[in-house]
Structure formats: C-alpha cells, structure tokens
Structure 1
Amino acid sequence: MSSTPPRIFDRKRRLAVQRRLESRQRTEGAARFVIDDMIVDLIERIAFVRQQPGEALVIGDWTGALTPELVAQGHEVMWRGIDEIDEELPYPSGGFDLIAGLGTLDTVNDLPGALIHMRNALATGGRVIVQFLGAGSLPNLRTAMLAADGERPAARMHPMVDVRAAAQLLQRAGWSDPVVDSRTLRASYASLDRLISDLRDQGLGSVLASFAPPLTKAGLERAREAFLANAGPNGRVVEDFEILTLSGRRSLAGT
C-alpha cells in the first residue's frame, strides 16, 4: 500500500489564488476579516503565554500586519508567503523559537507531514501557533452548492479538519503540550454572490486538484435560491467561518 497522501489540493492553484488575492486587495473595500481576526487572536495568545523574544517565522500573512507586532515585542522575524515555502517539505532553515502560520495548512495534501516539518523547524522548547478554517465553516454555501448540482454533486468545496481530528494529528506529529480550540466568526449576506466575492477577496476560493464543471445558469439560480432559503427576517443569511487554532512546542528533549 502506498504511503503517499492523496492529492486533494493543487499547489499551482494555491499560488494562482494567492496572486488573485493580491490583486483584489488593491480594490477599496476588499474583505479581509478572516485573517485580521487571526492576527489579533494570535497576538493575544503570544502575550498570554509570555513568549520570550527570539527567532520567529511567519507563514501566510499576506497583510504584512503581524510582523511589525512581533518585532515590537523583540522578535527577529522571517516572513514567508506560500510561494516561498512548501509546508509539505522540510524547511530550508530551522532553530525558530516561534512559528506562526495563518490560513495555509487547510490546503496541504499531507497535513501530518506539514505539522512534523513545523515541529522539526523549531528550536528546543520552541512554540508553534497555526490557524486556519475548520470543518464548521460555510454551511450555507455547502448547502447551496449541493442544490446547484442536484442529483450529481461535483466536488466544489474543500474537505476540512474538525477539532477532534486536529488534536489527533498533533499527537501523531509529536507536538509537546498540544492544544486545539476553535472559534466562529459570523458574517451576514444579502446574496450568495456577495459571499463568493468576499471569499475571493480573501484567497478562500477553490484550490482542489480536480476541476468541477462550471455551474450552468440554472444551477447558479438554484444555488442562489437555496442560499437565501436560510435568510432571517431581515433577508440576510448568517454564514459561519470556524477558525481552528493548533498550538504546541518542541520538547526540551529536542524531539
């Protein structure tokens, strides 16, 4: 039996989505609330655990907002985008006292391997904190996409990790003091099209390796109707964005 993980996500599509994100973010009013929340939460966590200043690696922060916050706390920061580091391979450098990952590990094929590489890139006693969207995200969009395709659903939505699975993955990856928790952001929408626009603004479009057929005009209308069927009295649909946080350390034994 092959030990190679299944190819669910495509790295070239990940990079293409990132490039489109950078272009869309130059538009006034582009959505960025998911990563903004991650950054604020991560800064609070680092302060809470009283992380000592040291060598820090930031992965995936396309806003550039986290680095100056860490520098102000005394860290020497190395920043890497998803085009500069492949989390499924050993890191080109190591010895980091802190690794902060924002919104990238939910689209890697070998998540256990990625978590092991993160641990190995830490200095002894170093800490990792990563955040990404979890399985409780976008339930109304999932319902809409199923309605669009009818009896022959296509793969249009990413498979996602839940809290229990994430905890098991951290144990498997050998993280010390592993902790997994989740929180939910909620945003309201008057249309499916606005939700999709917000997702594209934030680089949350599909990066699946398999391409789903384009929605027909009738399918898109079914999706819009199914989405609005969950609207409240104000005509707006409240959509969930569940953010998982995984944190842990490399043990003092260096393993």
Structure 2
Amino acid sequence: MLFDRALLLQRQLRASRHPADFLLMRVNDEMEERLGAMMRKFEHVADVWTPGEGLQIRLWRGLQVPIARPAEPSGFVAETLPLAAESLDLAVSALAFQFVNDLPGVLAQIRRALKPDGLLLAAMLGGDTLTELRQSFAAAEAECEGGVSPRVAPFADLRDIGALLQRAGFALPVTDVDRVVVRYASAFALMADLRRMGATNVLRERRHTLTRRATMLRMAQLYAERFADADGRIRATFDIVWLSGWAPHESQPKPLKPGSAKASLEAAVKQAKR
C-alpha cells in the first residue's frame, strides 16, 4: 500500500478549482487521435479515474459518446470498479494509474469488464517522470538533514507495464512513451504546478512534518545547478506511458505454437549468407 488514496482524492478535488491541465489536455488529444485511427465504433465506454472532469474525446465519426465514470469516492479509495462482466467495448484512463496501489488487480478488473475484443487504452506517468526533482530533494536532504525521506512516488517503466498487461490476461499488449520536458522559472514554480495537478506527495511513508526552509532552499539551488538551461530556466521531465490491450477474441492474431515452423532459423541464416 504505497499511496494514501483518500488524500489523493482530496487533493485532486482541491486542484480542480484552478487546474494545471496541460498534460491532461495533451493526453486527451492524443487519445482521441489514436482511437480515431481505428475507425471502429465503441458504444459502451468507461473512464477509469481520470482526474477532473475526465476525458472529452470523440469516439466515432465526430460524435461525442457519453463516457461513464464508474468510480465513486468510496470505490476510488478502495480501488474497486463497479463494472459488470463483459459490459464495455472500451475502457480509457488518463494520468491516474500511477497512483494505484494494486495496478495488477485494477487491470484484471478492467479486463473482466471488457467484452471479447474490447479495448483498454490508458496513459499514465512512468519512467523518468520528475527525476530531476527526486534527485534534487534526495541530495538536499542528505546534505541538510543527514537522511532521505520519500518525496516522489516510484514510477513503473515500460517493460514492467507491458508485463502487467500480459499478467492481467490482455491480448496484443502494446506500450510506448511520450516524453514531455517542461521548463520552469524555478523548482518552486514546478511544485506549484504539481499542486494544481493534484499530484503532490501522497505516499503513505511520506514525511508528516514540515520540511525545513534550509532544505527547500538547498533543493531549489541544487535543481538550478544541475538541471537548468543556459537561460536559467529548469527542466522537468514527464514520461507519459501509453498502454493498450484487448480482451481476447478468436478473430485476433495468435502466435504460432513452438515447433510448428516448417523451416529452421539456422537454415535461413545459412541460405542468406550464400
């Protein structure tokens, strides 16, 4: 149990009053483009835990399809999805799965809720997201306080997420990364945006006392020294990991059974060398 989900919900509700939603808008547009390229009709759709007002995507020939929001506050905290088995053609989610304690369990619930040949398409923060802030805080705390506390949540990498999709029973799993580098005047400006995203520290093992002023100032100084451009503005990395998978269906391509090949790889290599 890494995350305090009740605290996360409180902070996301607070952030919705004056949101910093540039990442969410980027994901929204990309998701609409990816789905539009499929030329496929999705009638029963659910949005899983996208913050704010959720995704606003056109799913079929320019028509806005109502997207259900299955997560009530109690379910949000408990990580349960009130979705009937084989009830969905499509499940979508944006910038939410990085705060899930039991991601394999949530993926399994979504897989169960999809009809055969139904699709999950989601985007989450992962990889090297906020690596600059993580490194700067760790160095400042080690220097000023003689120890390091959890500041930035651990993020899954591409390979791990692909394995989780397979574990949950999805067919044809695909993952890729969209790296976004945002520049800020200072580390404090970055942290202000994180508050407006509802994405500040909700780790259960987080420090529960105020950070010393000297530590915060040293963190900002180290950040500027290590991760600033020539004009003095700092860089912040956000890796948006895209994941997709299909509920199995007999019409989908299937890998060949081991030993079913009619020619050996060794023979093909020797033939190519001649």
Give the TM-score normalised by structure 2. 0.82
Q: Secondary structure at the match of 2:235?
A: strand
Aligned to 1:125: 117
Aligned to 2:191: 196
Aligned to 2:36: 47
Alignment of 1:55-204 (within 5 A): 55-64=44-53, 66-67=55-56, 69-70=58-59, 72-73=62-63, 75-80=65-70, 83=73, 85-86=75-76, 88-94=79-85, 95-150=87-142, 151-204=146-199
Whether the 8 Å contact between 2:32 and 2:57 is mirrored in structure 1 is: no
Give the TM-score normalised by structure 1. 0.88
Segments of 5+ residues of structure 2 without an aligned counterpart are 251-274
Alignment coverage as a number of residue pairs: 243
- Residue type at the aligned position of 1:180: T
Aligned to 1:216: 212
Aligned to 1:18: 12
Which one has a bigger Cα radius of gyration? 2
Whether the 8 Å contact between 1:133 and 1:244 is mirrored in structure 2 is: yes
Percent identity among equivalent residues? 27
Note the alpha carbon deviations across 1:117-172, whole angstroms, 9 max, x for none.
Answer: 11111111110001110021112111221122113000111011000111111111
- Residue type at the aligned position of 2:65: H
Equivalent-residue separation in structure 2 for 1:69 and 1:234 (angstroms): 40
Equivalent-residue separation in structure 2 for 1:179 and 1:84 (angstroms): 31
Aligned to 1:37: 26
Task: Give the C-alpha shift of residue 240 in structure 1.
Answer: 0.9
1:228 aligns with 2:220: no
Whether the 8 Å contact between 2:57 and 2:64 is mirrored in structure 1 is: no
Whether the 8 Å contact between 1:139 and 1:240 is mirrored in structure 2 is: yes
Equivalent-residue separation in structure 2 for 1:53 and 1:111 (angstroms): 24
Equivalent-residue separation in structure 1 for 2:93 and 2:117 (angstroms): 18
Equivalent-residue separation in structure 2 for 1:222 and 1:103 (angstroms): 30
When structure 1 is superposed on structure 2, of 158-167 and 16-25 the one drifting more is 16-25
Segments of 5+ residues of structure 1 without an aligned counterpart are 1-6, 26-30
Aligned to 2:242: 245
Aligned to 1:4: none
Task: Give the C-alpha shift of residue 49 in structure 1.
Answer: 2.1
Whether the 8 Å contact between 1:55 and 1:98 is mirrored in structure 2 is: yes
